[in-house]
Chains A and B, each alone.
Chain A
Amino acid sequence: MGIIYAVRLRLGCLAFFLFMAAPAVAQDDGVALVKVLEGSAFTIQGDDKQVLSVGSAIRREDVVETASGTVGLTFKDGSRISIGPNSRIEFKKFEFSSKEGKFAFFISIIRGTMLYISGIIAKLSPEAVKIETPVATVVVRGTRFLAKVEGD
């Protein structure tokens, strides 16, 4: 616990330092771009809710919500997802660095529908891909699948 806290603190300091040093690189935090949009969709980070349009970036730890709309995203590694109406998807972790051998693709479907098509991360490091729901976790080995979460 103490170690986690220390690491968090350190990451926090590092993030603050980077932010102060080079505010212009903030967009590097983007992990995916909106490529397809039908109706309206939003990203939520804390109290900040933004309307998405084609070309909008999805950042690490964003939450994407749709009402009547559908949104299609392509990630930096070529993974793609489309999110159906009345959905809420939380982006938990994304790492794609072949040089450092760091890979992670971790999202959580809270409600709604989704189509996932794997990209390079699943090819290079299948165990790095995890898609979670309130009741189950999906482990993927390079593939295409649909998911639906109904309920509260």
Chain B
Amino acid sequence: MTVRLEEAFAFCRYIVRRLLLRARLSRTIYLVVLLPDKDGKIGVIEVHTKGGVQIIDQANQSTQVAAADSKPQTPAILLKTEIVAGWGAVLRNMPLPPKTFIFYFQWDTDRLTPESKAQISAIMAEVENYPAAELLIVGHTDRAGTTRWNAGLSLRRAKTIEALFMETGLRHNLIEIESHGENNPLISTADGIREPKNRRVEVTIR
């Protein structure tokens, strides 16, 4: 009889210990929610723990993880109000998405086309919208001329655009320049072909 009682006590102590352990482990809760992209597309995320994997692929779908060794919970859709209540600050303070603009050039020169020249001021104004704006300026050519010549030409084009932006007072160390020569055409052509759409500089503001 006493042996049985001791056994029962031991069992109770074991259960209590397990519950305490579990409570301590579950103090870290991890919650992840998938949001649709701005263009409405919905990505996919996988949440991995030692206990398993949960795939999330629907708008506002979420999963929760209580402990490293438990499988992430069955996904549930969160309400808009729950999302705003939990993440209002981060949703409000997301930086602007980067934007890319293309300047086109006249054949075999670093002179802008009249159409692109006309857009300069609008694109410059866009920089003002970006706090601590950084620029990536990438020069390109078409495939007329030698590869080596085009490498130099694409760099001259990029520098022309850089000079324009420098006038707006952007710090030099926030501008990054690349020249891809004829290697990254927008429209692929055979070698030696003139293609106005490939004679360009792409500027990404972020």
Which residues of A are interface residues toward B (Cβ below 8 A)? Answer: 27, 33-38, 54-55, 70-74, 78, 80, 82-85, 113-115, 117-119, 133-152
Report the separation of the CA atoms of residues A72 and B131 in the bound assembly, to the nearest whole angstrom: 11
Report the separation of the CA atoms of residues A1 and B121 in the bound assembly, to the nearest whole angstrom: 57
Total inter-chain residue pairs, C-beta < 8 Å: 154
> With a CB–CB cut-off of 8 A, which chain B residues contact A146?
32-33, 35, 83, 86-87, 90-91
Closest A residue to B130 by beta carbon equals: A35
Of residues 127 to 172 in B, which have CB atoms within 8 Å of A's CB atoms? 130-132, 134
As a 0/1 sequence over residues 33 to 68 of chain B, the CB contacts with chain A under 8 angstroms (1 = contact) are 111111000111111110000001000000001111
Q: Flag if B94 contacts A113 (CB, 8 Å).
A: no
Is B181 an interface residue when CB atoms closer than 8 A count as contact?
A: no
Report the separation of the CA atoms of residues A146 and B85 in the bound assembly, to the nearest whole angstrom: 12
Q: List 13 A-B contacts (CB under 8 A).
A: A37-B93, A74-B98, A117-B97, A134-B30, A135-B28, A135-B66, A136-B47, A143-B35, A143-B43, A145-B43, A146-B33, A148-B30, A148-B87
Closest A residue to B56 by beta carbon equals: A145
> With a CB–CB cut-off of 8 A, which chain A residues contact B93?
36-38, 70-72, 82
Q: Flag if B45 contacts A82 (CB, 8 Å).
A: no
Chain A contact surface mostly: strand
Report the separation of the CA atoms of residues A118 and B83 in the bound assembly, to the nearest whole angstrom: 19
> With a CB–CB cut-off of 8 A, which chain A residues contact B35?
115, 143-146
> With a CB–CB cut-off of 8 A, which chain A residues contact B30?
133-136, 147-150
Q: Flag if B28 contacts A151 (CB, 8 Å).
A: yes
Is B81 an interface residue when CB atoms closer than 8 A count as contact?
A: no
> With a CB–CB cut-off of 8 A, which chain B residues contact A137?
47-49
Q: Flag if B94 contacts A117 (CB, 8 Å).
A: yes
Least CB distance, A39 to chain B, in whole angstroms: 9
Q: Flag if A139 contacts B206 (CB, 8 Å).
A: no
Residue count of chain B within 8 Å CB distance of chain A:
46
Report the separation of the CA atoms of residues A147 and B47 in the bound assembly, to the nearest whole angstrom: 11
Closest A residue to B86 by beta carbon equals: A148
> With a CB–CB cut-off of 8 A, which chain B residues contact A147?
30-33
Least CB distance, A78 to chain B, in whole angstroms: 4
Report the separation of the CA atoms of residues A23 and B89 in the bound assembly, to the nearest whole angstrom: 38
Given contacts A33-B132, A35-B131, A136-B30, contact A141 B89 (CB under 8 A): no
Report the separation of the CA atoms of residues A141 and B174 in the bound assembly, to the nearest whole angstrom: 29
Least CB distance, A29 to chain B, in whole angstroms: 12
As a 0/1 sequence over residues 109 to 141 of chain B, the CB contacts with chain A under 8 angstroms (1 = contact) are 000000000000000000000111010000000
Report the separation of the CA atoms of residues A136 and B32 in the bound assembly, to the nearest whole angstrom: 10
Which 10 pairs from chain A and chain B are nearest by CB?
A: A143-B43, A151-B28, A35-B95, A55-B132, A115-B90, A82-B90, A146-B33, A139-B46, A72-B95, A78-B98
Least CB distance, A3 to chain B, in whole angstroms: 27
Interface centre among A71, A85, A141, A144, by most chain B C-beta atoms within 10 angstroms, is A144
Is B4 an interface residue when CB atoms closer than 8 A count as contact?
A: no
